[in-house]
Chains A and B, each alone.
Chain A
Amino acid sequence: MGGWGMGRGGRPTENTCRMKDTPLSNCERDFLLKAIEEKKRLDGRQTYDYRKMKITFGTDYGCCFVDLGKTRVMAQVSCELVAPKESRPNEGIMFFNIELSPMASPAFEQGRQSELSVKLNRQLERCLRNSKCIDTESLCVVSGETVWQIRVDIHMLNHDGNLMDAASIAAITALCHFRRPDVGIQGDEVTVYSPEERDPIPLSIYHMPISVSFSFFQQGTYLLVDPCEREERVMDGLLMIAMNKHREICSIQSSGGIMLLKEQVMRCSKIASVKVSEITELISKALENDKKARKAGERCGFAESMPQERITALKMDETPVEMTDVTDRANDIVQNTEAPPQTVPSPVVPVPGVGQIGQGLQNAWGLEEDDEEEEDVSSHEEEEEQVTKMEEEQHEKESREGYFIYFNWVHF
């Protein structure tokens, strides 16, 4: 994997070649923008559609996996008893941390606080902490001395776009799923009961703020919800709205520096409220199912939630493909294009041992008057100038096999 040079202290030296993400080619960018203008997305979704979302839980309380299409995020909630902050002696402490693991994308580096990581952390804090979705006063054990510190760690496992939404869903679901140990206070003594002694208590959560991301293209003309990774690379700007199902906006953040009109923001917030209620439904259902499974004593947990991805298994998730208007007729195309060159109906055998189909390329050797046209790849329309030598043709046909294929026109 390229030269990893290690300087003293174990940090990679400056001139090692780091794994960079695949660059976006101009052709992909143009195609994506063109497709967006025609309201088509790469995987066939509509403009306001989310990808398939799946929420699973681990064995511990507070461990949650969220799959948003191919983006995969894991959240883990843990707690410990600490001394409270001086300014707020009655309130517990919430701590959020988002880790961009190099497992998620070759662009993420271990240990480096990249811009994206700072941005995601800030947004998550604003979304969850400032909205006061968790009752921090209930986390107080002994006022001024001991409070619970709840820590939410979010790990990105795979980056296929829209990390923020997946992270916010994972965080709030993990918080809803989490159970903290019960404590008993006797005078000055604080006893923490283990889960076997007393059932752990869930956190008291007022509401579930969920963030919805909107990506803008062509200076705000086109809008897409839940951008995938390639769409994120060509977008001009991003608007993130965090809302709960009671239609209260918890945070709005616009990045990328595009100018948005008031109507656009209003429209986005309406869309966001619809999406948030759907997602909250899904979260509640997932939590229900998990509760039932645990009660029934079923096996639940990390090992069970892993899908069987064996190399010998031929199972793959259905790829959603939009197929409307596919039969833009071949007939139309045939009629509207110019007549193809005279085609040879079957292989001709000019010399025993040599077969010829079609005319092959123009011979550019030693002929100064013919200009060397750039070979147009859609060459089933191309007019051949002259018959080339047999051996050349054979060679060309064979070598062409490797990289593009003629599609012979079939006359309907």
Chain B
Amino acid sequence: MQRQYTVYLQSFISRPCVRMFSSLKLRVGEVLLPGDEFSFDTADRLSLTEAVKAEKVVCGPGLRRSGDRLLVCKSGVLRHKEPNTFWMDSQQRRYVPAKGESIIGIVTVKSGDVFKVDFGGSEQASLSYLAFEGATKRNRPNVQVGDLVFAQFVLANKDMEPELVCVDSSGRANGMGVFGGGGLLFSVSLGLVRRLLAPHSEILTDLQQLFPCELVVGMNGRLWVKSSTVQQTLVISNLLQSCDTMTAQQRQQLFRRVAQGAL
């Protein structure tokens, strides 16, 4: 899961951090609400005989440091990853851009040197026409208004207009760029997208057993599916939209029913 969180990660280093760590560890898997806090009491006595190690606690999205306390600022479930990363796993559909994340965007305006791309955020991002593989001033990429692009953020501040590129740092497309003939675009919650992109994703293994399809996953909650027939594409899109809120067992049951063609 750590791969997907390229959002800010604050390090919280403090000497008697052992307490913080253990109090966080205790509540992993619980539902927490904004306002819940973790603080360590300085009144607690430190054992002089035990070796006190300085433990680093890395806070992911949803946790924020305020002075000597750790505050929860998003409601959700507290998750933990070895060795010392904690974050809040929350359910939301509104995407906030973050640097390095790849998203599916829709080109809305083509003006001069720059395309404006809508990705579902508060502003539209800008995508320069030179940010495509093999694009030069004379050789412009073939992008029309209304096309789908798979791009990643190079600049995603809350104060500035976000910027996208369709090449990676070495100048190669690497799968990014314009795509999309013949498939269906739909949107799901961000939690489902993260679960799909996690390594060894269960949902993907289940989906693989159904029918062959192409799937493009954008971290802004948009998915693009293409299968051999329109019917199968519709089936897959409906399945993905509905398995958002299902437990693993319900989902496997549903997929099994579809595989038998009985639904």
**CB within 8 Å for A23 and B106 given contacts A323-B261, A404-B216, A405-B215:** yes
Contact between B261 and A26, CB atoms less than 8 A apart? no
User: What is the CB-to-nearest-CB distance from B107 to chain A, in angstroms, rounded to a whole number?
Assistant: 8
Please indicate the chain B residues that have their CB under 8 angstroms from the CB of A321 in the complex: 234-235, 238-239, 242, 258, 263
Decide if A189 is an interface residue (CB 8 Å cutoff). no
Decide if A335 is an interface residue (CB 8 Å cutoff). no
Q: Which of A261-315 contact B (CB under 8 A)?
A: 311-312, 314-315
Which of A28, A30, A321, A404 has the most chain B CB atoms closer than 10 A to its own CB? A321
Q: Which of A373-412 contact B (CB under 8 A)?
A: 375, 377-378, 396, 399-405, 407, 409
Please indicate the chain A residues that have their CB under 8 angstroms from the CB of B184 in the complex: 27-28, 31
Q: Mark A314-357, 1 if CB is under 8 A from B, else 0.
A: 11101101110111101001000000000000000000000000
Please indicate the chain A residues that have their CB under 8 angstroms from the CB of B75 in the complex: 311
A26, A315, A377: the one within 8 Å of B146 (CB): A26
User: What is the CB-to-nearest-CB distance from A126 to chain B, in angstroms, rounded to a whole number?
Assistant: 35
Of the 9-residue stretches A38-46, A76-84, A138-146, A191-199, which lies at the interface with chain B?
Answer: A38-46
Contact between B175 and A326, CB atoms less than 8 A apart? no
Please indicate the chain A residues that have their CB under 8 angstroms from the CB of B216 in the complex: 377, 403-404
Decide if B62 is an interface residue (CB 8 Å cutoff). no
Please indicate the chain B residues that have their CB under 8 angstroms from the CB of A43 in the complex: 238
Q: Mark B247-260, 1 if CB is under 8 A from A, else 0.
A: 10010000000100
Q: Which B residues are closer than 8 A to A by beta carbons?
A: 3, 31, 75-76, 91, 102, 106, 108, 118, 120, 122-124, 134, 144, 146-148, 150, 168, 172-176, 179-185, 197, 199, 204, 208, 211-218, 224, 228-235, 237-239, 241-242, 244-247, 250, 258, 261-263
Contact between B146 and A25, CB atoms less than 8 A apart? yes
A-B contacts, 28 listed (Cβ < 8 Å):
A2-B123, A23-B146, A25-B148, A25-B185, A26-B148, A27-B147, A31-B183, A31-B184, A31-B233, A35-B234, A311-B76, A314-B250, A316-B244, A321-B235, A321-B263, A323-B261, A323-B263, A326-B231, A326-B258, A326-B261, A328-B229, A328-B231, A330-B211, A333-B228, A375-B175, A377-B214, A399-B174, A403-B218
User: What is the CB-to-nearest-CB distance from A65 to chain B, in angstroms, rounded to a whole number?
Assistant: 23
17 further A-B contacts with Cβ under 8 Å, apart from A23-B146, A314-B245, are A2-B122, A2-B123, A17-B122, A17-B123, A27-B182, A30-B182, A31-B230, A44-B234, A316-B244, A323-B261, A326-B258, A326-B263, A375-B175, A378-B214, A399-B168, A402-B217, A403-B176
Contact between B175 and A403, CB atoms less than 8 A apart? yes
B76, B134, B144, B217: the one within 8 Å of A372 (CB): B134
Please, how many angstroms separate the alpha-carbon atoms of A318 and B123 in the complex? 34
Decide if A364 is an interface residue (CB 8 Å cutoff). yes
Please indicate the chain B residues that have their CB under 8 angstroms from the CB of A312 in the complex: 31
Contact between B175 and A404, CB atoms less than 8 A apart? yes
**CB within 8 Å for A323 and B258 given contacts A22-B106, A22-B118, A26-B144:** yes
Decide if A24 is an interface residue (CB 8 Å cutoff). yes
Decide if A259 is an interface residue (CB 8 Å cutoff). no
Please indicate the chain A residues that have their CB under 8 angstroms from the CB of B230 in the complex: 31, 34-35, 38, 40
Chain B residue with Cβ nearest A316: B245
Please, how many angstroms separate the alpha-carbon atoms of A328 and B263 in the complex? 14
Contact between A40 and B215, CB atoms less than 8 A apart? no
User: What is the CB-to-nearest-CB distance from A231 to chain B, in angstroms, rounded to a whole number?
Assistant: 13
Contact between B239 and A401, CB atoms less than 8 A apart? no
A-B pairs, top 3 by smallest CB distance, nearest first, are A323-B263, A27-B180, A26-B146
Decide if A1 is an interface residue (CB 8 Å cutoff). yes
Please indicate the chain A residues that have their CB under 8 angstroms from the CB of B233 in the complex: 31
**CB within 8 Å for A42 and B234 given contacts A311-B91, A396-B174, A401-B197:** yes
Chain A residue with Cβ nearest B247: A314
Please indicate the chain A residues that have their CB under 8 angstroms from the CB of B123 in the complex: 2, 17
Contact between A319 and B245, CB atoms less than 8 A apart? no
Please indicate the chain A residues that have their CB under 8 angstroms from the CB of B102 in the complex: 402-403
Which of B182, B230, B234, B246 has the most chain A CB atoms closer than 10 A to its own CB? B234
Please, how many angstroms separate the alpha-carbon atoms of A17 and B102 in the complex? 24
Please, how many angstroms separate the alpha-carbon atoms of A319 and B229 in the complex? 20
Q: Mark A136-177, 1 if CB is under 8 A from B, else 0.
A: 000000000000000000000000000000000000000000
B31, B172, B199, B242: the one within 8 Å of A319 (CB): B242
User: What is the CB-to-nearest-CB distance from A143 to chain B, in angstroms, rounded to a whole number?
Assistant: 57
Which of B213, B214, B246, B247 has the most chain A CB atoms closer than 10 A to its own CB? B214
Contact between A314 and B246, CB atoms less than 8 A apart? yes
Contact between B212 and A330, CB atoms less than 8 A apart? yes
Please, how many angstroms separate the alpha-carbon atoms of A242 and B255 in the complex? 42
Please, how many angstroms separate the alpha-carbon atoms of A377 and B199 in the complex? 21
Please, how many angstroms separate the alpha-carbon atoms of A408 and B174 in the complex? 20
Contact between A407 and B234, CB atoms less than 8 A apart? no
Please indicate the chain A residues that have their CB under 8 angstroms from the CB of B224 in the complex: 27
Please, how many angstroms separate the alpha-carbon atoms of A150 and B174 in the complex? 64
User: What is the CB-to-nearest-CB distance from A326 to chain B, in angstroms, rounded to a whole number?
Assistant: 5
Contact between B212 and A407, CB atoms less than 8 A apart? yes
Please, how many angstroms separate the alpha-carbon atoms of A28 and B214 in the complex? 16
B91, B120, B232: the one within 8 Å of A22 (CB): B120
Which of A20, A23, A333, A401 has the most chain B CB atoms closer than 10 A to its own CB? A23
Contact between B214 and A31, CB atoms less than 8 A apart? no
Contact between B172 and A322, CB atoms less than 8 A apart? no
Please, how many angstroms separate the alpha-carbon atoms of A372 and B216 in the complex? 22
Please indicate the chain A residues that have their CB under 8 angstroms from the CB of B231 in the complex: 38, 40, 322, 325-326, 328
Contact between B147 and A26, CB atoms less than 8 A apart? yes
Please indicate the chain A residues that have their CB under 8 angstroms from the CB of B232 in the complex: 326, 328
B108, B118, B181: the one within 8 Å of A27 (CB): B181
Contact between B234 and A40, CB atoms less than 8 A apart? yes
